[in-house]
Structure 1
Amino acid sequence: MNDAKLKGNLEGVSARALERFAGHARRAAGLRREVHILITSSRALRALNRRFRKKDKVTDVLSFPAALGGAHCGDIAISAEIAAEQARARGHSVAQELKVLMLHGMLHLAGYDHETDNGEMARKEERLRRDLGLSAGLIQRAKDAKRPTRLGPNSRTNHP
């Protein structure tokens, strides 16, 4: 059985290496059935987000659980453009960023929801990220972005 079926524009990225990683991530997330992964445009992700989540904005990754008892456990859609932008911003490869997004999507397919689970998904993502040799996961990045900058003793502010 194939662990993951990858489809989409993977220019400069080894589809075989991503499929191999997807299999490891799928098993690490506790998923027993196949996962289909589509790497597509930001425009397509925005349309999917609007249609299925009623959010008219682009996003980096979406997960769609399949019906119980089927041959696969769900689908993951990833924006190739956003993955490339995030890879540049983080200073790592597009392949590395695609792996981070795949892992995040796999955890959603496994039933985790970082918006409602009091940090359970964040802890799981962080542990699996380390186990799989990935850079900071999506949930940790969001926390880091919201964390206020601490001023050192020699810092100046524009406040009186």
Structure 2
Amino acid sequence: MIEFNYETEFALDNEAAISNWISDVIVSEDKKLGEINYIFCDDEYLLQINKEHLQHDYYTDIISFDYTIGNEISGDMFISIERVKDNAVDFNVSFEDELRRVMVHGVLHYCGYKDKSESDVVLMRSKEDEKLAMFHVEQ
């Protein structure tokens, strides 16, 4: 089950398409969908989580809490809409594309992909691109 929660004025206009896509991504990695919660928030909300849970005092676009057990993918992903908007401008991509990249990035972490080393980052970006290509609005 995939749920979308909003702690800011933002709301997805295509929850069903996003949910179907995330489910397809999980299946494409030979995993099973457990429970994934996306929580969309603002910078200050996510900064507070970053400070309280990770002892980091800086803004970020996503913080994910992984509850995956075996092949069943589960977790909570907190996404700052403000950071995603800024990053979209910085990377010269649409807000929608950057948001989907962040959303699938968290799922790929749950599937076991890392982004600490240079080679991990290259693989993560490749996987993100592969999974973004799976998204279709009319699902």
Q: Same fold (TM over 0.5)?
A: yes
Query: What is the CA-CA distance between 1:40 and the residue it aligns to?
Result: 0.9
Amino acid of the structure 2 residue aligned with 1:99: R
Distance 1:29 1:66, change over 3 A: same
Asked whether the equivalents of residues 5 and 35 of structure 1 are also in contact (C-alpha less than 8 Å), the reply is: yes
- Secondary structure at 2:18's aligned position in 1? helix
Amino acid of the structure 2 residue aligned with 1:48: I
2: CA distance, partners of 1:131 / 1:92: 17
Please name the residue that 1:66 is paired with: 67
Unpaired runs of at least 5, structure 2: 135-139
Identity of aligned residues (%): 21
2: CA distance, partners of 1:5 / 1:111: 21
Q: How many residues align?
A: 130
Query: What is the CA-CA distance between 1:98 and the residue it aligns to?
Result: 1.2
Listed one character per residue, the Cα deviations across residues 52-74 of structure 1 (whole Å, up to 9, x for unaligned) are 211111100111011638x8611
Query: What is the CA-CA distance between 1:123 and the residue it aligns to?
Result: 0.9
Please name the residue that 1:141 is paired with: none
Amino acid of the structure 2 residue aligned with 1:105: G
Q: Larger RCO: Structure 1 or Structure 2 (Cα < 8 Å, ≥ 6 residues apart)?
A: 2
Unpaired runs of at least 5, structure 1: 135-160
Runs (4+) of structure 1 exceeding 6 A deviation are none
Asked whether 1:94 is paired with 2:95, we answer yes
Give me the TM-score of the superposition, normalised by structure 1.
Answer: 0.66
Please name the residue that 1:17 is paired with: 17
Asked whether 1:43 is paired with 2:41, we answer no
2: CA distance, partners of 1:30 / 1:47: 34
Query: What is the CA-CA distance between 1:48 and the residue it aligns to?
Result: 1.2
